[in-house]
Amino acid sequence: MAKVKMVLGWCIPMILITVALMTPVAAQAGSVKIWPDQLKPGMPWDGSSPEGYYQNWGEVRNGLFFAPLNLPLGARITKVTYYHLGYPGGLTAAYIERQKMGAYSESVADGGSIDDSGEIILVDVPVVGDRIIRPGYRYYIIVRPANNLSFVKGVIINYLP
């Protein structure tokens, strides 16, 4: 009996340690923050117009801005939000799109705000497409303030690896 107790006294802790080491570590959530100064005037070209990358005076004047979005392959987008400062005008919008070379872009997230309170508010952008970051695509965030009195003060994309 003493021998069995000695073996169990040694085996049980080793089994518990082995199980603990084999259990996968919980995925750590991450986020990407796009600051206003990271947004470039214009928009990546989706092939629907001969203007190239839309970086012409008309689109810049209309307030269309974009930034590349770099998330790890296989990451799952869990939430998209942006900070909006709006005065009377129209809809300020934010989008995440993805594109394969030689193809039209696809919508991943799409939403906006018509808030004109003059206060900075946080706006949730619904994820409407594939949440998983897949190989072979380029991802980018696009924002379009309603007018010159509406501002996007940053975008946050939360994800799980």
Q: Pairing mode, if any, of strands 40-41 and 138-144?
A: unpaired
Q: CA-to-CA distance for 12 and 18, rounded, in angstroms?
A: 10
CB 121, CB 135: distance < 8 Å: no
Domain ranges of the chain: 27-160
Residues whose CB falls within 8 Å of the CB of residue 96, separated by 6 or more in sequence, listed in order = 69, 77, 80, 107, 108, 109, 110, 125, 127, 139, 140, 141, 142, 157
Question: Which pLDDT tens digit goes with each residue over 48-92?
Answer: 554 444 545 455 555 688 899 999 999 999 999 999 998 887 788
Per-position pLDDT tens, the chain of length 161 = 666 555 546 555 555 555 444 444 456 889 999 998 898 887 555 555 544 445 454 555 556 888 999 999 999 999 999 999 988 877 889 999 999 999 999 999 999 999 889 999 999 999 999 999 999 999 999 998 888 788 899 999 999 99
DSSP letter for 25, please. P
Q: CA-to-CA distance for 2 and 38, rounded, in angstroms?
A: 70
Q: Assess if CATH 2.60.120 describes domain 27-160.
A: yes
